[in-house]
Structure 1
Amino acid sequence: MALAEHFKQLAESRWFQRFIIGAIFLSVLSIGLETLPGVTPEVTRGFQFVERLLLGVFLAEMVVRIGAHGARPWQFFGSAWNALDFAIVALCFVPGMDNLAVLRLVRLLRVLRLVAPLYESEVIRRKNEELAAAYHALDEEKEKSERLLLNVLPVLIAERLKGSPQVIADRYEAASVLFADIVGFSKFARVTPPEQIVTMLDAVFSRFDHLAGELRLEKIKTIGDCYMVVAGVPEPRADHAEAIAQMALAMLRSLGEFNREQGQSLQLRVGLHSGPVVAGVIGRKKFIYDLWGDTVNTASRMESHGVPDRVQVTEEFSRLLADKFHFEERGPTEIKGIGTLNTFFLTAAK
């Protein structure tokens, strides 16, 4: 191992640094005691002997610290504290200067070498605490932002949007869409205080949100008193029709429980349909994850042309679940924008 490497390990060792700090304190103490009134010449000579020993220690310290820089000793003087240390120690060896009062005072400046690192350590500690607090606050804000994002977008879509902010549009060949609407809500809203309307909708839709979470469905949006949810998007699933049927029946039961608990008489129209859909994110501000396609339009028409407290479905939907649910045929129904469709009511699971 090179001599410079030995010097470097020695200079950076904890015991060496503590030894030098102790020597500096002893030097300062010796200077202070030596100048006290009433000190005898014998005692003074003793202090001077101690000072000479300490100067030898400081000289050895300079050799070690400069030697640690190997072939580039000038790098030692890149630090102002190192240059001050060297100047103080060097001046003490200039003949005739060891008794100068000014020089003795200058030697006290070595104490600053001890105070400065302590001050710097305290500053660094405080800065680290401030940085830690800032990072913690940043993490909390990030978590809040992510929670807000997940309240707007499905998890899979949010991750894609964060990873690559591009247009997101996906086609799903098999999905089931549900629309639900509170019957007579417009008339109810005209005679009810706004605060009560919002409170009631929040209570009802929170129940529906809980059901959607239990059945692993994706709530798309609410528009006024209309609630929209989908199965098989953005995660495809083979049982999308069954899951959306369970959701529809559970919503009717949940609203019935709400009516009994709150003394209300609210009714719900529900419409279902299955088929291909396109799903994606639209907008750059206040963006929304939405669905498009004939399947969506047909499910919406099943709801708007439905019957209170019934779940109306298309014939195609009823065929998908004929072996798992009971259906009641409604018959040919004129559907706006589509024409005549043979529709059914979903009544119960088998």
Structure 2
Amino acid sequence: MNIVTRPSVTKEERIAILKKVEIFSTTDEKILGDLTDSLIEGTLRPEQAVFHKGDQGRAMYIIADGAVKIHDKSYVFAVLRKGQVFGEYSMLDTEARSASVSAIVHTRLLKLTQDVFYKIMMDQIDIVRGILNVLIKRSRRQNYFEEKLAESNRLIQQKTQQLKEEKAKSDELLLNILPEEIAEELKRKGRSEARSYELVSVLFADIKGFTSSSEKMSATDVVKHLEYYFTGFDEIMEKYCLEKIKTIGDAYMAAGGIPQPNESNPIEMVCAALEMQGFMNKHKEEKAGSDELCWELRLGINTGPLVAGVIGKNKFAYDVWGDTVNTASRMESNGEVNRVNVSGVTYELIKAYFECDYRGKINAKGKGEVDMYFVDRLKPEFAEDAEGTVPNEEFFGKIREMREESEKTHTPANES
């Protein structure tokens, strides 16, 4: 602050200014007149600092004209104008300033130092009372704002938590619709590219007789039965790292080797198919003797190249296309209940692990004659049980080796 040797503010003007100052509002005019003789007048140019954060406080200031900002670097806490006071806490202690104060425009200040203030306080109880009133009011306001700030922070934290929970729900919903890698790509890029795959196993399953039976059931019962079966199938797919593609009525479709390519998917898909048949048979045994309806499953699998990707804009769907898919559908429609029917291509990829029966060349609609095989069971050396339906640790060890080898040779789907 530039000290003014010849004050531009008259004594009467100073008294008028002091009367408008809250801490002096109840002080006698004669006392104010004496007080003005102790004030130091100074001027500030725009952006000139009165004091900086961390400076020791030894004076208070009254704005005679102009305006100042209370700030911490570029963040402005408040703007004070003519007749307002700042720095008055330094009249009671010498703690470091908690913020910086700088002029906004050309400003005139009246400065009262701590030592002068102490001398005046000894004689003028009215001034002391005024100071205390202001400090009490400010303390109350500060407590009020601190409570409001705490409440605002609580609400912000609450909203933030709600947003996190909503995001988690959205992510979970997206993962229920799309494979994880594809969902991550959509979130990252806003789109997902369709990809070609060389080796994918596609499964079609149909619950025989369900459509005709459902005509005699209530809508609630239809949904209840389908939910039971499809939930069981979903758990089996997850166990073998396979992707459910969709359901159409009582038909279930899944694929292996997407979105992350691997060579083990034909074997895993056949294992899943055997387990699906086991799931249906177990349910039928449990309900034997009851009036509850039970159905049988027809399964078909084919392996080959296809294209996979996301379709839709508002309602996403991950789907697969290609002749491999069509042939897999024919494997199901030309199969038999309680059996797993596979194409010749799939057979060549699984024959080291499963015992199969060659059915010969079967005429498939739109395909002509196609080699087909029924899968009977796992080979004894890979089975945990006598029936050959439960894989053992040696089997899973082989699968892990195949997957590890695939990871070395294939680029992750969400990085391509």
TM range (shorter): 0.7 to 0.9
Tell me if structure 1 keeps the 8 A contact 2:182–2:192. Answer: no
Q: Which runs of 5+ in 2 are unaligned?
A: 1-48, 59-87, 380-416
What's the offset of the Cα at 1:205?
1.1
Matched, 1:9 2:36: no
Q: Measured at CA, do residues 90 and 130 of structure 1 come closer, stay the same or move farther in structure 2, by a change above 3 Å?
A: farther
Q: 1:261 aligns with which of 286, 300, 318?
A: 286
The 5-angstrom pairing of residues 49-68 of structure 1 reads 58=91, 65=97
Q: 1:232 aligns with which of 250, 257, 268?
A: 257
SS in 1 for 2:258: coil
What's the offset of the Cα at 1:197?
1.3
Amino acid at match of 2:222: I
Q: Which runs of 5+ in 1 are unaligned?
A: 17-54
SS in 2 for 1:221: strand
**Structure 1 Cα separation of the partners of residues 274 and 355 of structure 2:** 12
**Post-superposition CA distance 1:256-287 (Å, at most 9, x none):** 01112234431111000000111100001111
Mean Cα deviation higher: 136-145 or 257-266: 257-266
**Post-superposition CA distance 1:197-231 (Å, at most 9, x none):** 11111111111111111111111111111111111
**Structure 2 Cα separation of the partners of residues 152 and 57 of structure 1:** 64
What's the offset of the Cα at 1:308?
1.5
Matched, 1:168 2:193: yes
Q: Measured at CA, do residues 126 and 60 of structure 1 come closer, stay the same or move farther in structure 2, by a change above 3 Å?
A: closer
Amino acid at match of 2:369: T
**Structure 2 Cα separation of the partners of residues 336 and 56 of structure 1:** 93
Amino acid at match of 1:135: T
Matched, 1:191 2:213: no
Tell me if structure 2 keeps the 8 A contact 1:313–1:344. Answer: yes
The 5-angstrom pairing of residues 10-25 of structure 1 reads 11=56
**Structure 2 Cα separation of the partners of residues 308 and 60 of structure 1:** 92
Matched, 1:333 2:362: yes
Aligned residue for 1:112?
Answer: 137
SS in 2 for 1:109: helix
Root-mean-square deviation (CA, aligned residues, Å) is 3.5
**Structure 1 Cα separation of the partners of residues 104 and 324 of structure 2:** 79
**Structure 2 Cα separation of the partners of residues 138 and 223 of structure 1:** 34
Amino acid at match of 1:311: V
**Structure 1 Cα separation of the partners of residues 331 and 52 of structure 2:** 86
Q: Sequence identity of aligned pairs in percent?
A: 36
Aligned residue for 2:227?
Answer: 202
Matched, 1:286 2:315: yes
Tell me if structure 1 keeps the 8 A contact 2:206–2:251. Answer: yes
Tell me if structure 1 keeps the 8 A contact 2:90–2:114. Answer: no
**Structure 2 Cα separation of the partners of residues 226 and 134 of structure 1:** 42
SS in 2 for 1:252: helix
Aligned residue for 1:315?
Answer: 344
What's the offset of the Cα at 1:342?
2.3
Q: Measured at CA, do residues 213 and 89 of structure 1 come closer, stay the same or move farther in structure 2, by a change above 3 Å?
A: same
Q: Measured at CA, do residues 61 and 227 of structure 1 come closer, stay the same or move farther in structure 2, by a change above 3 Å?
A: same
Matched, 1:217 2:262: no
Amino acid at match of 2:175: L
By percentage of residues, which structure has more strand?
2
Q: Measured at CA, do residues 184 and 111 of structure 1 come closer, stay the same or move farther in structure 2, by a change above 3 Å?
A: same
Amino acid at match of 2:169: K
Tell me if structure 2 keeps the 8 A contact 1:181–1:225. Answer: yes
**Structure 2 Cα separation of the partners of residues 254 and 336 of structure 1:** 29
**Structure 2 Cα separation of the partners of residues 60 and 126 of structure 1:** 31
Aligned residue for 1:297?
Answer: 326
The 5-angstrom pairing of residues 89-128 of structure 1 reads 106-107=130-131, 108-128=133-153
Q: So what's the TM-score if we normalise by structure 1? A: 0.74
SS in 1 for 2:267: helix
Q: 1:276 aligns with which of 302, 305, 324?
A: 305
What's the offset of the Cα at 1:92?
6.9
**Structure 2 Cα separation of the partners of residues 294 and 56 of structure 1:** 83
Count residues in correspondence. 293
SS in 2 for 1:340: strand
Amino acid at match of 1:75: S
Q: Measured at CA, do residues 301 and 92 of structure 1 come closer, stay the same or move farther in structure 2, by a change above 3 Å?
A: same
What's the offset of the Cα at 1:327?
1.5
Tell me if structure 2 keeps the 8 A contact 1:180–1:268. Answer: yes
Aligned residue for 1:133?
Answer: 158
What's the offset of the Cα at 1:323?
2.1
**Structure 1 Cα separation of the partners of residues 151 and 195 of structure 2:** 50
Q: So what's the TM-score if we normalise by structure 2? A: 0.63
**Structure 2 Cα separation of the partners of residues 7 and 190 of structure 1:** 83
**Structure 2 Cα separation of the partners of residues 113 and 60 of structure 1:** 16
SS in 1 for 2:54: helix
Aligned residue for 1:143?
Answer: 168
**Structure 1 Cα separation of the partners of residues 206 and 297 of structure 2:** 6
**Structure 2 Cα separation of the partners of residues 56 and 266 of structure 1:** 85
SS in 2 for 1:275: strand
**Structure 2 Cα separation of the partners of residues 8 and 193 of structure 1:** 76
